[in-house]
Amino acid sequence: MRGKDLLDIIALIDDDLIEKTAVIEKKKKNIGWIKWCAVAACFALTAFTVVKFLKPDPNRKNIGPGGLPMLTIAYEADGMGFEGYQGYDISDIENQNPWTDDLQIKTLPVYKNTAYTDASGLTVSDISGEELEKRARSVAAALDLEVLKVSYSKVGKYNKPPYRPPGSTLDSNAIYEVNARCKEAEITVLANCDVRVEFTKTIKLPEDYNFTHDNISDEDAERVTSYLLERFSKLHSFTKPQKALSKNYDYYGNILRTYEVYDMSDDIEEKILNYNFRKIEFSPDSQGDLWRIDIHDILTCADKLGDYPVITIKEATELLLNGNYVTSVPEKMPGEKFIGKVELVYLTGNINETFLPYYRFLVELPNMQLDNGLKTYGAYYVPAVSKEYLLNMPIYDGSFN
């Protein structure tokens, strides 16, 4: 997307949608996403990316070794700015990912996203409105809330000029979310079955709990997450709840937190999938009250393509140094000596047509170190699937798409 295209689309966004998005952004911080331009946008927009892709080889078949479908790497960042994290040292950046570099993983599953977000920026799926409503009512029952009104949001006018961007293929009657209004909360179920609970009146926690996005100790973060998990135990069926508390810093040196929980498992693969795809997130407001709960079960709208061979960290590092990565960082990977850490993750945003594993390298960006000593670490992603199964390979070319 070029600058002129971006400005043209911004001009078409409804004022009420911009206002609604602004309200949400005031309450929910996008931790780990660093803004590098002044343009604020909403669901129809994505960030500039700084990679190009080698064209798929027309001579390669669509079926790879072992009968597995060949994969095409495509990447768009799902926010304005770039994915970056700040800390005085790489050890300051935590997310409690259960993957470790000593795990002997030979294969991991790859999925087709059946709730893919097309050029319109709206997400639809084959899940019926009735099923989405059923999920909303189930969440309401778990919270002991009475549903007063249910509404279905359809693509409607967003599928017509001037709102519909080129390339959008959505049906005007397709449902992209269902909203269940209760006296105490609004429950929204998106077409990919993600659930968002926003409390009309925020829930105050007991005074001995500290619950904020900013400057909370590890001990307090653990305590309050345990309390919330127990208080809202009816919202999940986790057998071994495991906290995944993220931490990094803002520009001013304040600690930033997110509060997530997933279902731990003794099975390595299931543990990794649960961490990436099945989570509950608790979000505080600026006063330390519970404002929002998000329930993620992304694989509900995904079809398994198969189990694919996974490359080693050494192989991934070689690809990284060769420029075979995707990133939203607005500069080239500065070199091997700046690699801070690496972990295995899935990219799970709805803009991804395929859910496959990547090695995420957090790389120090020396040009972005702040005067207060804070370092910025950008995220660079290398496909973890063996190249035998890739029709194309990303390569950094130093320019914006």
In-domain check, residue 325: yes
* pLDDT higher than threshold 90 for residue 9: no
In-domain check, residue 123: no
Give the global pTM.
Answer: 0.84
The percentage of the chain sitting over the pLDDT mark of 90, rounded to a whole number, equals 67
Instruction: Note the pLDDT of residue 365.
Output: 97
Backbone angles phi, psi at 228, to 5 degrees: -65, -40
pLDDT, averaged across the chain? 84
**Residues 282, 143 share a domain:** yes
* pLDDT higher than threshold 50 for residue 399: no
Residue 350: pLDDT band with limits 50, 70, 90: confident
Question: Mean per-residue pLDDT for 174-185?
Answer: 95
Q: Collect all residues with Cβ–Cβ distance below 8 Å to 314 and sequence separation of at least 6.
A: none
If residue 395 lies in a helix (H) or strand (E), which one and from where to where? strand 394-395
Question: Mean per-residue pLDDT for 31-45?
Answer: 41
The two three-digit tokens of residue 78, written as one number: 């799902």
**Residues 339, 213 share a domain:** no
C-alpha R_g of the chain:
21
**Residues 318, 292 share a domain:** no
**Residues 113, 28 share a domain:** yes
Burial (CB count <10 Å: 0-12, 13-18, 19+), residue 63: exposed
Residue ranges of alpha helices (H) inside 233-372 are: 268-277, 313-321
**Residues 249, 190 share a domain:** yes
Instruction: Note the pLDDT of residue 396.
Output: 78
> How open is the CA angle 93-296-22, to the nearest 5 degrees?
75
**Residues 73, 93 share a domain:** yes
> How open is the CA angle 351-152-262, to the nearest 5 degrees?
50
Instruction: Note the pLDDT of residue 338.
Output: 98
AA identity, residue 364: E
CA distances from 165 to 60, 125, 160 (A): 32, 19, 9
* pLDDT higher than threshold 60 for residue 42: no
In-domain check, residue 186: yes
AA identity, residue 191: A
In-domain check, residue 106: yes
The two three-digit tokens of residue 63, written as one number: 């079926």
Nearest to 45 by CA among 17, 74, 85: 17
**Residues 339, 248 share a domain:** no
Residue 349: pLDDT band with limits 50, 70, 90: confident
Last residue of a domain, one of 240, 270, 303: 303
**Residues 324, 299 share a domain:** no
Instruction: Note the pLDDT of residue 1.
Output: 40
When divided into structural domains, the chain yields a total of 2
Residue 60 belongs to domain spanning = 3-117+310-395
Beta bridge partners of 71: 390
**Residues 365, 390 share a domain:** yes
Question: Mean per-residue pLDDT for 12-21?
Answer: 43
**Residues 293, 151 share a domain:** yes
In-domain check, residue 122: no
Last residue of a domain, one of 251, 269, 303: 303
In-domain check, residue 400: no
Last residue of a domain, one of 274, 303, 332: 303
**Residues 177, 298 share a domain:** yes
**Residues 149, 288 share a domain:** yes
The Cβ-side half-sphere exposure at 249, using a 13 Å CA radius, reads 19
Nearest-angstrom CA–CA distance, 175 and 127: 9
